[in-house]
Amino acid sequence: MTLQQISQKARGTHRGTNIALLLVLAGMMIEMTAFIIGIALGISYADYWANSQAVRDAASPTNNPGILSQVGTITAVEAWLVPFKFVGLSMFFSGIAAALYTIVKTMQLRGDAFAASFPIALGIGSGTDADGGNS
Partner 1 sequence: MATQTATTVNGTKALKITGGDVKMTGMQSMAEKMWIPFTAMGLMIVIVAFILGIVISGMESDYYSNSKEVRDAAVQGSDIAVDRGTIEAMKQWVPGFKFFGLGLMLGGITFLLATILGNLRLAGGRVQRALGVDQVVIKKPMIANIFPMLMMMGVMVMLAAFIISIVLATIAGDYWDNSIATVLNPATPGGQGDDLLADIGTIKSINAWLTPFKFLGMALLFSGIALALLTIVKVLRFQASRFVEVAQQAGK
The answer to whether the beta carbons of residues 46 and 23 sit under 8 Å apart is: no
CB atoms within 10 A of CB 24: 17
Which of 60, 79, 107, 129 is the binder for partner 1 (CB under 8 A)? Answer: 107
How far separated are the first and last CA of the chain, in Å rounded?
10
Binding of partner 1 at residue 58 (CB under 8 A)? no
- Residue 3 or 68 having the CB closest to partner 1: 3
Nearest-approach distance from CB 60 to partner 1, in angstroms: 19
The answer to whether the beta carbons of residues 36 and 28 sit under 8 Å apart is: no
17: left (phi over 0), alpha (psi -120 to 50) or beta: alpha
Which of 43, 62, 75, 124 is the binder for partner 1 (CB under 8 A)? Answer: 43
> What is the rounded radius of gyration, in angstroms, for the C-alpha atoms of the chain?
28
Residues lying near partner 1 in the complex (CB under 8 A): 3, 6-7, 9-12, 14, 16-17, 20-21, 23-24, 27-28, 31-32, 34-35, 37-39, 41-46, 48-54, 81, 85, 88-89, 92-93, 95-96, 99-100, 102-103, 106-107, 109-110, 112-114, 116-118, 120-123, 127
